Amino acid sequence: MPDPAAVDVGTPWQAVAVGVAVLGEILAVVFVYRVLVRGGSPASTLLWMAVILVTPWLGLLLYYLLPRRLQLRRLRRVRVRGARLRRGRARGAGRDADPPGCGLQALLAGADGAGLDGGNEVEWLPGGEDFFRGAAVAIAAARAEVHCVVYIFRPDAAGLRFLDLLTAAARSGVAVRLLYDSFGSFGLKASHLAPLRAAGGRAVPFLPLLWKRRPFTVNLRNHRKLLVVDGELGFVGGRNVGDEYFTDRVGKSRYWLDAMLAIRGPAVGRLQDLFVEDWCTATDEVLAVAAPPAPRGDCRIGVVCSGPDREDSDLWFAVFQAIGEATATIELSSPYLVLPPTLAFALRLAVARGVRVRIYTNGPKAEAAVLYHAQRSHYARLLGAGIELYETVEQYNHAKLLVVDARNVLVGSANMDLRSAHLNFEVAAVAVDAPQLAAQVLATMDRRRADFRRVTEADLPTRPPWRAVDGFCALLSPLL
């Protein structure tokens, strides 16, 4: 006969275990409901449902730690205020606030927060020294404020030199605000930023890993590269701050290929508005929004963005619309090429209607093995559709740009991959009917083509093990 005392000792722990299990199942049902009503792709929804139901506590932990959206009440108020200001600016300038006609111009003109501004002067900056020289001159001449958003800020020679420029500007009384991504700029420490902060400048990490709204936000990254000086001059594109971005070198011999635009004119006001939003997200501080600068040129530019803090993506709407309007050529450059299915379909459709599509990306010597195998898993369908693929041989291609029909140009921070499409904060400038700018960009791409090799179907793997590796790495592409 069992000892009653022995049974009593185990009973409370058994009750706790049963209670935890029951609570887990109840919470699993609640969160499955949230997954269902939140929407998203069927594959993503089914995956989350399976993980939560099979392993409730692990699934709930992952669902909480890997957010896909940010709900920011104060940021929404900032956006509403900004929309009112922009409508007032349009009326004050005598512009029609309604989208004109249809197509890409109408999309940009009607986009919430994007807009299409005429009267801009735009400069193509393909080289690292071009960008950093222009940025250094602008920061040194700043009178009121310097605003910078960057994904990677390395505390190497180029990064410390850039910090010295910001520190000198802060010492002269300029309001310097630096926003860096906490994950991408992991090596940037408080000791590196101490001189800037001592001079009165502000340096704030974007979504630090221990953030008050979520304890672990590594899944959401601010991938934007943006510099605005005095609200009059803006730089936007793919360059971060570090030696390779400054010298256009990887190591001692390999080249780093990238792209930036310098903009003067009313469109800079849109870049400034975007910084105000990002600063509010990071600090809850609402900055004043100044009037946009006066016209300086004849280029029409729309500033578009995407991110987990907004429902719709002006940036990806613009990409799809530009591709959909193409009648002759599409030139696309992206360091990573794990295309979202809808984008791959849009490019294949363009080829089907007679458009020549060329894509420039990185080869196996330049890219990490997992990333390269993930993108190579898509090559057979792209090549089969008639798309021309070019890979770097030794160099590294970091340029993120799109040129359509030698007249519409998009330059920004977004890669053509799932992470940029769904998780990252991204920005781009779209120049509409800008044949002169398009000619400069295409001339740069023509010169760089010597560093690429064209991929053919003969280059695709035929052995089952390598095809399996490509397929397995493609499964990991949403996490890369």
Tell me the catalytic residues: 223, 225, 230, 398, 400, 405
Closest Cα partner for 257 from 265, 245, 275? Answer: 245
On whether the CB atoms of residues 112 and 83 are closer than 8 A, the answer is yes
- Rounded distance, CA 452 to CA 393, Å? 6
Cα 190 vs. chain centroid, distance in angstroms?
Answer: 25
Report CA-CA distances (Å) from 169 to 147, 355, 446. 11, 48, 38
How many CB atoms are located within 10 Å of the residue 264 CB?
20
- Rounded distance, CA 92 to CA 96, Å? 10
- Rounded distance, CA 322 to CA 330, Å? 9
- Rounded distance, CA 51 to CA 58, Å? 8
- What is the total residue count of the chain? 480
Three-state secondary-structure class, residue 259 = coil
Task: Measure CA of the first residue to CA of the last residue in the chain; give whole Å.
Answer: 60
On whether the CB atoms of residues 314 and 306 are closer than 8 A, the answer is yes
Phi and psi (nearest 5°) for 226? Answer: -150, 135
Q: Tokens 């559709």 correspond to what residue?
A: 385
Residue 249 has which token pair?
Answer: 């070198």
Query: Which stretches of 67-207 are DSSP H helices?
Result: 73-92, 104-110, 128-140, 157-171, 190-198
Which residues of 266-400 form beta strands (DSSP E)? 299-306, 329-333, 356-361, 388-392, 396-397
What does 431-451 look like in DSSP terms, one character per residue?
Answer: EES-HHHHHHHHHHHHHHGGG
On whether the CB atoms of residues 278 and 419 are closer than 8 A, the answer is no
Q: Tokens 């000792």 correspond to what residue?
A: 9
On whether the CB atoms of residues 103 and 321 are closer than 8 A, the answer is yes
